[in-house]
Structure 1
Amino acid sequence: MKVNATTWLIARRYFRSRKRQKFINRMTTLAWLGVGVSTMAMLLVLSVFNGLEDLLRQQFSKFNPDLKVLPAQGKTFLLNDSLRQKIKQTDGIDTFSEVIEDEAVVRYHEKQMVARIKGVSHNYGEVSEYPKHMVAGRFVLQEDDYYFAIIGYGVYRTLSYAWGDINPLEIWYPNRKGKITLTERDLQKGLIQVGGIFEVEFEQDARYILVPLPFAQALMQYEQERSALEIKAKQGKVAALKTQLKKRLGDAFLVLDREEQQADILRAIRTEKLFAGLALGVILLIAALNIFYTLSMVVIEKSKDISILCSMGAPERFIRHVFLLQGAMIGLSGALSGILLGSFIVWLQERYGFIKMGVVSSIVEAYPVRLAWQDVCTVGLCMILLTIVLSYIPAQKAARSFRIERL
């Protein structure tokens, strides 16, 4: 659409005119407000989803390693000397921990539960951030010949564990080399003292117990089998290391970064964000329809002006551009106001957190938010397209109305 100075001046005059009928003035104001409020609401909701996604990533970083190697099929893989050397010789690895992980029954006095037993190497504190999140005891898995379990805060509460009690936890696991029955005789039993309690994230705290790798090997009767390898990469080497490991290990293994380790949860958040955006997009469309009705009313009111302009030699294209530009002024000024106000509210929430979660046990007190420029561009682009589409029919009607006047 080519816009010259005359087109701009006439469209601006129609947009700002106060001599129109009050009803049309109110329609214009309502159209502007509807677009602005809808744009602001859409931006705020998308920012909340961005904040939740960032919060989840922050929580995952507390217990997920930089990279995790898993078998492509089955629960375990054989970690022989050849594979171990191949891992050690890969450039970019700071350190790595071997992992054996499975469900088992844990008993303490009269309490029992099904927990996730995770046997890890002695250097696991260097791979993960668990040592930074201890609420009791120390992150020590083994001292001399003594083994210690590090339990989640949720496990501690479920078992009603008495901190400092010398009585060990009983861990029961099915005998993998025998016939599985329902008697205790066919279960492997391990006793281990609690050495510390961690608190990182609700799901992890509620079911995870960390134990030394030799203890898990004996309990689950594993020799060279491992469930996973958790790797800490050197600074800035995660992406390159992931690519290199995929090439060296082949299709028999999966190499997952932190985001891929929690792909299901992040995918759920993004899906919810998509559907919320679509729902708000429908509301934005309904609000933008006011532009169509407003321009239609303006065309009727300005029919005499249109006839005068046409009699002075103004082509259809000129009339059409005038009303397209007026629709753009209503839509884009409303969208810009909504974006600016929404961005300001997001900034206030990030800085002061005045909208609280209202849940005592929540991870954060206030709703997490983050303004993404991709969302701003998407909302702005949608508004431009809606404005053009909804303004075209009234503008086309205005361009041809002079023919009706002459008849």
Structure 2
Amino acid sequence: MGYEWFVSLRYLRAKRKQTFISVISFISIAGVTLGVAALIVVLAVMTGFHDGVRQQILGNIPHILVQKHGEEISGYPQLIEQALAASPRIKEARPYVSKEAMLLSRNNVAAVSVKGVERGNKVFDQPFLTVDARDVQDLVFTEGEGLPGLVIGIDTAATLAVAVGDVINVIPPMFTITPFGMIPKMKPFRVVAITSRRGGFLDTYYAYMALPQAQLLIDAGERVSGIEIEVDSFDHATSVAQELRGVFAYPHVVRSWEDLFGSFLSALKLEKLGLFIVLGIIVLVAAFNIATTLIMVVMEKHKDIAILRSVGATSRSIMAIFVLEGCIIGTLGTSLGTALGLLLAKNADPIIKWIEGTFGLRIFDQAVYGMDHFPSVVNSQDVIAVVIVAMSISLLATIYPAWRAARMDPAEALRYE
């Protein structure tokens, strides 16, 4: 296919009377470039938000929860041993106690889920505000230093108007019957740590304390609310949960993190697919420009086509000339769009910060999304999908003009010349 390439490249270079066609070709390339770049950037941002939300969820929620239907679990050490022996993918299993409660301080009230955990729980991996930057676990699990310690979210602290070191009262939904009526149970705790990151929608609803303190608070004795299980990867949570269901029969309930929040993450995936389809229309519009360019070239070059056919060029060669011309436009647009999209996606956070600082705008509010930077994660599969879709649309746009050129009758084209 030697001369077909030569003729295709020749037709892309405009002569003085064909400048308009060259401009249309440039617009076609620019349209494909912008469409591909927009697709890559939006998919990278959606992937970043998806991963950010998932990290927020998995920062507080275990991979798998084992609970007992309608009651608390007694004899949990045996259940932990059974869980650890059920699958080699399970890294650890820890008991916890959870109960809704009210936090009271300075006439301010906040509703939270009080959660008693053991030392080493993954919730302590996030950054906290503590007195003298002390280790949060030492403050929570060290006994004999006055009031027991409590960890709350920064949004909860703002609602209660408290800081590290202040005392708040925890009121569980339990009452003591006295001659004067029912009196709610109340126990003072000292705020020893506050989460330093705003906007974590799960941090707002949890307050953490040592497991024995939580058992005393709700009169659970040696019972726990459930067992938190961590596996080697969150992707394996569903399969491991299915294995655990074969070990823990009713009344035990086994739920993975996808069972708890899978519908929310599925909505994010559906939104990502919708944006892919909507922005793909930009590439489709650019493909119409490619078709328009080739149709105009066919109309302009009908004499050239007739001469090529007269000297022995086949219909397949004529069709290949215009298919190659459209593919060159599509390839240039896709390549430039991929490079531009990757450049923007990789540097989305500094670009957003530069725009905010230069124009005084507020594009990304970290407090709202609970993320310390603008999320943008480039997924190689998304980039490959965008490239394939763009090239496919560009190729399809060349078929009709190339087919019309291949069917042109040389005698008819040269009759009035």
Give the TM-score, by structure 2 length: 0.80
In structure 2, the residue matched to 1:126 is 120
CA apart distance, 1:5: 1.5
Letter in 1 for 2:343: F
Taking the TM superposition and a 5 Å limit, the aligned residue runs for 1:1-400 are 4-19=1-16, 21-65=18-62, 67-71=63-67, 74=69, 78-80=73-75, 82-90=78-86, 91=88, 93-120=90-117, 123=118, 125-130=119-124, 132-137=126-131, 138-139=136-137, 140-141=140-141, 143=143, 147-161=148-162, 163-165=164-166, 167-174=167-174, 185-186=181-182, 188-199=184-195, 200=197, 202-220=200-218, 222=220, 226-233=224-231, 245-249=244-248, 253-256=253-256, 262-349=261-348, 354=354, 357-359=363-365, 361=367, 363-364=370-371, 366-400=373-407
1:238/1:27 CA distance change after superposition, 3 Å: closer
In 2, distance between residues paired with 1:185 and 1:211?
30
CA apart distance, 1:349: 3.6
CA apart distance, 1:383: 1.3
Identity %: 26
Give CA deviations for 1:40-98 in whole Å, capped at 9, x if unaligned. Answer: 11111111112222333444453344x32244x95656444553441354556554321
CA apart distance, 1:320: 1.3
- Higher alpha-carbon deviation: 308-317 or 214-223: 214-223
SS at match of 2:312: coil
Q: CA RMSD in A?
A: 3.5
Letter in 2 for 1:269: L
CA contact (8 A) 2:60 2:203 kept: no
SS at match of 1:317: helix
1:212/1:402 CA distance change after superposition, 3 Å: same
CA contact (8 A) 2:99 2:115 kept: yes
- Higher alpha-carbon deviation: 102-111 or 73-82: 73-82
1:162/1:13 CA distance change after superposition, 3 Å: closer
CA contact (8 A) 1:68 1:231 kept: yes
- Higher alpha-carbon deviation: 268-277 or 192-201: 192-201
SS at match of 1:126: coil
Give CA deviations for 1:205-230 in whole Å, capped at 9, x if unaligned. Answer: 32211234344445545467644322
In 2, distance between residues paired with 1:153 and 1:214?
24
SS at match of 2:34: helix
Letter in 1 for 2:65: V
CA apart distance, 1:313: 2.6
- Higher alpha-carbon deviation: 49-58 or 213-222: 213-222
In 2, distance between residues paired with 1:80 and 1:282?
59
CA apart distance, 1:398: 0.9
1:289/1:70 CA distance change after superposition, 3 Å: farther
Unmatched tracts of structure 2, length 5 or more: 357-362
CA apart distance, 1:327: 0.9
CA apart distance, 1:336: 0.9
1:355/1:274 CA distance change after superposition, 3 Å: farther
In structure 2, the residue matched to 1:181 is none
CA apart distance, 1:111: 1.5
Match of 1:402 among 395, 400, 409: 409
SS at match of 1:197: strand
In 1, distance between residues paired with 2:59 and 2:340?
35
SS at match of 1:401: coil
CA apart distance, 1:106: 2.5
CA contact (8 A) 2:95 2:227 kept: yes
In 2, distance between residues paired with 1:12 and 1:194?
76
- Higher alpha-carbon deviation: 34-43 or 126-135: 126-135
CA apart distance, 1:16: 2.8
In 1, distance between residues paired with 2:233 and 2:392?
44
